[in-house]
């Protein structure tokens, strides 16, 4: 029984990928004996499982995801956070204050106000409730400086690269610290604006060309060229 | 105002715009045209010019309309005042309300409604210029906008109409043919699943003519489907050679 | 709209597999149908249809008015439908929603495309004054298949509609005494099929409508021609099912035609 399409083939919803005894993986579905793509993407398969790596998608929260979000609303015992997903997330006051919330004494907008950015982790989420976040772990909390870039969530693995090769290279070439939210929001903090913008350029280029090969080399080259143009200000 | 044309099909069997009975008008599609929307598409089908955009899945407003086990699909089909010969009032007409409903019902079977409970998907269609067959072009564009937004779908939905003018069953009627002809049958389908999601008809047809018209519309759908797929892939195909053409124009 | 229980849904689906329905009907059987005409004296024409427990009353009114600019030598037909709030627990008062608009337009299409009314005979002064026929559909109880019941009631109401006689005296229209029948050519009948599982059944009742994947309605004229079609519902039909439904509609329309005397 055949796989009808080759690896790395570009598919759109409704394209028939395989027929027979296969398992429908990411962004595919099975109808009777046939596996179809459900999103625009690239076919991948390993042994019996057929996946489509989506090129067009949006972020759906999962437990344990580290995300970057924007505070939208201050509620009476917590905050509503926009994590770039169909569902708004909840951050409880008690989580941020690391102690029970005292409505008379604690002034929430002083701690986090609408428009603030946070790095947080998804601690609970299911079909019946909106996702809940925590910042009570090292590395999480309010963001005070840096640049924010929004990318399609499915491109995040490409930005990380195999064994982190791509992201390490960018960090090295630009001297910036980069936090990649699984939800497609990226925080870049560098020594100066130019370094941050260089890193941003690299990340956006990866997003645009994520489906091509030889990307790591091209990005490295581009970063070096840009730095030379500026007369080698960065180390 | 407009004179009724004497003949819709001439002695050589050609229609007023030079087409053969089973010929489609030229069609062009482009995906990702409205940057603010989650997904969008623009279609030119003959003289029709239509934009479709999708927002969602996102929070439901008003909250009480949210469904616990399904997303809510909303659709708004609207014609711009200048889209037709005589200025049309911007207020939604009864026709636009009916079309909004049937278009929504044509797209819903393609969406995995149960994947994102307590969310809402908004499909907005704006007809900038109309020349017959706007619902078919709208459905085709809306389906691209949904795929562009990354909403998982069973298949693309494509639509095409067939009808009857002067005793001949023809494909893809333009406005004059629709007004003066004797029947119009718009059909929308998910081609890979052989599923018809919209079917309407006005006019008079015998059962045999009806069967012929539907089959002709289905063939038209399959042709347009190929153009749809190419439009979605266009962003990602690097110009390599002859087969990976960026052009989506269809003459047949 | 009340939610149907999963148990009921399974029950209906299982019965359909065996070509049987909860109320004992076969898949191609209509519920008991009662037709009453002329019940509203104030209206120019009227009819009441009871299809099972679905109840629809249609009244027609005739007024004079201007023709549409692109049809200066034809009278005007306008159809409106109201889903009266007490007709169903889910109905609320308010302007017509998409369901009542769709219903009105489907009924309108059957009448208009079959050329039921000889609109050329409704002209008083070409391009200036014509008769306007108002068909108003009122759904009083919703128990499934509003389309067929409403279409039937509308056609029946038009069949007993009386037009006022008039004469033009010194450029003015004077209404004379007496009436004449509305000039009619055809009597379309609409048949709706619902798809549940992989089966088609006619005249879906309320709970069947809550379970069905899709419905498709065909308006059939006296000669067996199809003059209007509307697929509804958020499911789909295969092409073979569409053609099967068309054949069923043609047959059932013929049967229903024998039962009514309008």
Please say if the pLDDT value at position B251 is more than 70: no
Q: Map residue B123 onto helix, strand or coil.
A: strand
Q: How confident is the model at residue A101 (pLDDT cuts 50, 70, 90)?
A: confident
pLDDT in tens, A117-144: 999 999 999 888 999 999 998 889 999 8
Chain A: partners with 3+ C-beta pairs within 8 Å: B
The CATH number of residue B47's host domain is 3.30.230.70
pLDDT at position A1 is: 57
Separation in Å, CA of C151 to nearest CA in chain B = 15
Query: Nearest residue on chain B to A52, judged by CA atoms?
Result: B152
Please say if the pLDDT value at position C150 is more than 70: yes
Q: Which domain covers residue B31, as residue numbers? A: 27-234
Inter-chain contact B117–A10, Cβ cutoff 8 Å? no
Number of domain units in chain B: 1
In chain A, what percentage of residues exceed pLDDT 90?
41
Q: How confident is the model at residue A2 (pLDDT cuts 50, 70, 90)?
A: low
Please tell me the number of Cα atoms within 13 Å of B25 on its side-chain side. 26
Q: Tell which of C9, C231, C247 to mutate to test the B interface (max B CBs under 10 Å).
A: C231
List the single residue in B56, B190, B233 with the smallest CB-CB distance to A14.
Answer: B190
Q: Residue A140: which of A101, A197, A91 has the closest Cα?
A: A91
Separation in Å, CA of C168 to nearest CA in chain B = 29
Say whether both A151 and A175 belong to one domain: yes
pLDDT in tens, B74-128: 999 999 999 999 999 999 999 999 999 999 999 999 999 999 999 999 999 999 9
Q: C229, C198 in Cβ contact below 8 A?
A: no
Say whether both A127 and A155 belong to one domain: no
- Contacting residues of B for C239, CB less than 8 Å apart: 194, 196, 214-215, 218
Question: C-alpha angle B52/B56/B62, rounded to 5°?
Answer: 110
Query: Would you say residue B241 lies in a domain?
Result: no
The CATH number of residue A105's host domain is 2.40.50.140
Inter-chain contact B58–A31, Cβ cutoff 8 Å? no
Q: Residue C91: which of C150, C151, C140 has the closest Cα?
A: C140
Neighbours of A150 (CB within 10 A): 15
- Contacting residues of B for A87, CB less than 8 Å apart: 59, 118-119
Q: What is the pTM of this model?
A: 0.91
Q: What is the mean pLDDT of chain A?
A: 88
Say whether both A130 and A156 belong to one domain: no
pLDDT at position B4 is: 66
What is the pLDDT averaged over residues A171-191?
Answer: 91
Torsional sign, CA A201, A204, A209, A210? positive
pLDDT at position B217 is: 98
Query: Would you say residue A59 lies in a domain?
Result: no
Q: How confident is the model at residue A52 (pLDDT cuts 50, 70, 90)?
A: very high
Q: How confident is the model at residue A157 (pLDDT cuts 50, 70, 90)?
A: confident
**What whole-number distance in Å separates Cα of residue C76 and Cα of residue C135?**
11
pLDDT at position A106 is: 76
What is the pLDDT averaged over residues C237-245?
Answer: 97
Q: C81, C150 in Cβ contact below 8 A?
A: yes
Inter-chain contact B214–C109, Cβ cutoff 8 Å? no
What is the pLDDT averaged over residues A109-120?
Answer: 89
Inter-chain contact C239–B215, Cβ cutoff 8 Å? yes
Q: What superfamily does domain C6-185 belong to in CATH?
A: GHMP Kinase, N-terminal domain (3.30.230.70)
Please say if the pLDDT value at position B1 is more than 70: no
**What whole-number distance in Å separates Cα of residue B250 and Cα of residue A116?**
50
Q: Tell which of B91, B98, B108, B185 to mutate to test the C interface (max C CBs under 10 Å).
A: B98
Query: Would you say residue B250 lies in a domain?
Result: no
The CATH number of residue A43's host domain is 2.40.50.100
Query: Nearest residue on chain A to B121, judged by CA atoms?
Result: A86
Task: Answer with the residue of higher pLDDT: B242 or A214.
Answer: A214
Question: C-alpha angle A142/A146/A150, rounded to 5°?
Answer: 90
Say whether both A200 and A213 belong to one domain: yes
pLDDT in tens, B163-220: 999 889 999 999 999 999 999 999 999 999 999 999 999 999 999 999 999 999 999 9
Please say if the pLDDT value at position B252 is more than 70: no
Residues contacting A47, CB < 8 A, separation 6+: none
Separation in Å, CA of A86 to nearest CA in chain B = 4
Task: Answer with the residue of higher pLDDT: C171 or A69.
Answer: A69
List the single residue in C98, C227, C233 with the smallest CB-CB distance to B97.
Answer: C98
- Contacting residues of C for B189, CB less than 8 Å apart: 236
pLDDT in tens, A22-43: 999 999 999 989 999 999 999 9
DSSP letters of C191-225?
A: EEEEEETTEEEES--HHHHHH-SEEEEEEE-TTS-
What is the pLDDT averaged over residues C216-243?
Answer: 97
Contact C137/B at CB under 8 A: no
pLDDT at position B3 is: 57
Say whether both A224 and A158 belong to one domain: yes
Which residues pair with residue B170 across a beta bridge? B163
What is the pLDDT averaged over residues B220-241?
Answer: 83
The token pair that represents C149 in the structure block: 């019941």
Task: Answer with the residue of higher pLDDT: B246 or B144.
Answer: B144
pLDDT at position B238 is: 55
Inter-chain contact B193–A127, Cβ cutoff 8 Å? no
pLDDT at position A104 is: 75
Domain map (residue ranges) of chain C: 6-185
- Do C and B make contact via 3 or more CB pairs under 8 A? The reply is yes
Chain B: partners with 3+ C-beta pairs within 8 Å: A, C
Task: Answer with the residue of higher pLDDT: B6 or C6.
Answer: C6
Which residue has 């629709």 as its token pair? B178
**What whole-number distance in Å separates Cα of residue B188 and Cα of residue B195?**
9
Query: Would you say residue A109 lies in a domain?
Result: yes
**What whole-number distance in Å separates Cα of residue C13 and Cα of residue B244?**
47
Residues contacting A161, CB < 8 A, separation 6+: A167, A168, A169, A216
Say whether both A168 and A118 belong to one domain: no
3-state SS of A188-223 is EECCCHHHHHHHHHHHHHHHHCCCCCCHHHHHHHHH
- Do A and B make contact via 3 or more CB pairs under 8 A? The reply is yes
Query: Would you say residue A82 lies in a domain?
Result: yes
List the single residue in B101, B190, B196 with the smallest CB-CB distance to C242.
Answer: B196
CB pairs under 8 A between B and C: 98
Query: Would you say residue B220 lies in a domain?
Result: yes
pLDDT at position A232 is: 52
Q: Is A98 exposed, middle or buried (0-12, 13-18, 19+ CB in 10 A)?
A: exposed
CA-to-CA dists, residue B22 to B18, B92, B164, B179, C164, angstroms: 12, 34, 11, 19, 48
Number of domain units in chain A: 3
pLDDT in tens, C25-74: 999 999 999 999 999 999 999 999 999 999 999 999 999 999 998 899 99
Q: Residue B59: which of A91, A78, A72 has the closest Cα?
A: A72
Last residue of a domain, one of A95, A110, A143: A143
The CATH number of residue A155's host domain is 3.30.1370.10
Which parts of B159-241 fold into alpha helices (H)? 175-180, 207-233
Q: Residue C63: which of C46, C77, C74, C82 has the closest Cα?
A: C77
**What whole-number distance in Å separates Cα of residue B97 and Cα of residue C81?**
14
pLDDT in tens, B39-55: 999 999 999 999 999 99
Q: What is the mean pLDDT of chain C?
A: 93
CA-to-CA dists, residue B119 to A65, B55, B56, B142, angstroms: 21, 11, 8, 19
Please say if the pLDDT value at position B235 is more than 90: no
Q: Which domain covers residue A111, as residue numbers? A: 66-143
Neighbours of B79 (CB within 10 A): 24
Q: B150, B79 in Cβ contact below 8 A?
A: no
pLDDT at position B250 is: 37
């Amino acid at each position: 029984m055949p796989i009808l399409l080759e690896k790395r083939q570009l598919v759109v919803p409704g394209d028939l990928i395989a027929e027979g005894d296969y398992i429908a993986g990411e962004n595919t579905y099975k109808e009777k004996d046939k596996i179809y793509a459900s999103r625009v993407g690239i076919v991948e398969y390993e042994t019996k499982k057929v996946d489509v790596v989506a090129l067009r998608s949006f972020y759906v929260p999962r437990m344990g995801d580290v995300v970057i979000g924007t505070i939208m609303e201050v509620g009476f015992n917590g905050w509503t956070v926009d994590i770039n997903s169909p569902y708004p997330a909840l951050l409880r006051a008690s989580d941020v204050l690391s102690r029970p919330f005292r409505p008379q004494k604690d002034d929430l907008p002083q701690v986090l106000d609408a428009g603030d950015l946070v790095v947080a982790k998804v601690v609970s989420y299911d079909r019946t409730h909106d996702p809940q976040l925590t910042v009570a772990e090292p590395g999480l909390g309010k963001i005070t400086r840096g640049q924010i870039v929004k990318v399609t969530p499915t491109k995040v693995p490409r930005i990380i690269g195999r064994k982190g090769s791509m992201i390490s290279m960018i960090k090295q070439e630009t001297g910036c610290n980069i936090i990649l939210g699984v939800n497609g929001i990226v925080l870049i903090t560098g020594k100066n604006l130019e370094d941050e913008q260089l890193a941003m350029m690299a990340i956006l280029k990866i997003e645009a060309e994520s489906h091509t090969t030889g990307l790591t080399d091209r990005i490295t080259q581009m970063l070096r060229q840009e730095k030379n143009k500026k007369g080698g200000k960065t180390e | 105002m407009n004179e009724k044309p004497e003949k819709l099909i001439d002695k050589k069997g050609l229609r007023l715009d030079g087409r053969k009975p089973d010929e489609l008008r030229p069609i062009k599609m482009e995906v990702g045209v409205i940057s603010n929307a989650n997904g969008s598409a623009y279609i030119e089908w003959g003289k029709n010019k239509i934009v479709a955009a999708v927002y969602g899945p996102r929070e439901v407003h008003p909250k009480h309309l949210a469904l616990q086990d399904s997303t809510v699909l909303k659709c708004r089909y609207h014609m711009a005042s200048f889209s037709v010969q005589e200025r049309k009032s911007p207020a939604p007409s009864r026709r636009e309300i009916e079309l909004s409903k049937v278009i929504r019902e044509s797209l819903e079977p393609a969406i995995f409604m149960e994947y994102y409970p307590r969310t809402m998907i908004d499909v907005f269609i704006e007809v900038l210029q109309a020349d017959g067959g706007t619902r078919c072009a709208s459905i085709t564009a809306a389906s691209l906008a949904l795929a562009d937004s990354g909403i998982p779908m069973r298949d693309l939905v494509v639509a095409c109409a067939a009808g009857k003018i002067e005793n001949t069953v023809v494909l893809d009627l333009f406005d004059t043919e629709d007004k003066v002809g004797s029947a119009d049958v718009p059909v929308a389908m998910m081609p890979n699943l052989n599923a018809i999601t919209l079917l309407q008809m006005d006019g008079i047809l015998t059962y045999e003519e009806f069967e012929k018209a539907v089959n002709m519309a289905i063939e038209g759908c399959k042709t347009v489907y190929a153009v749809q797929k190419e439009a979605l892939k266009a962003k990602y195909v690097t110009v390599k050679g002859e087969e990976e053409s960026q052009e989506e124009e269809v003459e047949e | 709209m009340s939610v149907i229980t999963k148990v009921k849904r399974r029950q209906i689906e299982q019965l359909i597999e065996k070509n049987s329905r909860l109320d004992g009907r076969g898949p191609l059987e209509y519920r008991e149908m009662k037709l009453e005409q002329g019940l509203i004296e104030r209206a120019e024409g009227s009819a009441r249809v009871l299809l099972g427990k679905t109840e629809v009353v249609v009244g027609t009114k005739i007024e004079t008015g201007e023709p549409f600019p692109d049809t200066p030598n034809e009278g005007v037909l306008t159809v409106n439908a109201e889903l009266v709030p007490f007709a169903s627990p889910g109905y609320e008062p308010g302007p017509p929603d998409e369901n009542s608009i769709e219903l009105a337009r489907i009924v309108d299409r059957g009448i208009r495309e079959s050329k039921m009314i000889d609109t050329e005979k409704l002209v008083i002064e070409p391009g200036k004054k014509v008769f306007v026929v108002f068909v108003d559909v009122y759904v009083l109880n919703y128990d499934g298949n509003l389309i067929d019941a409403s279409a039937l009631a509308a056609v029946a109401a038009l069949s007993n509609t009386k037009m006022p006689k008039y004469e033009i005296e010194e450029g003015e229209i004077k209404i004379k005494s007496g009436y004449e029948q509305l000039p009619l050519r055809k009597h379309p009948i609409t048949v709706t099929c619902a798809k549940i599982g992989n089966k088609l059944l006619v005249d879906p009742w309320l709970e069947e409508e809550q379970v069905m994947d899709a419905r498709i309605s065909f308006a059939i004229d006296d000669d067996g021609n199809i003059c209007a079609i509307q697929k509804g519902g958020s499911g789909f039909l295969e092409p073979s099912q569409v053609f099967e439904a068309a054949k069923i509609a043609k047959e059932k329309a013929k049967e229903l035609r024998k039962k009514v005397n309008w």
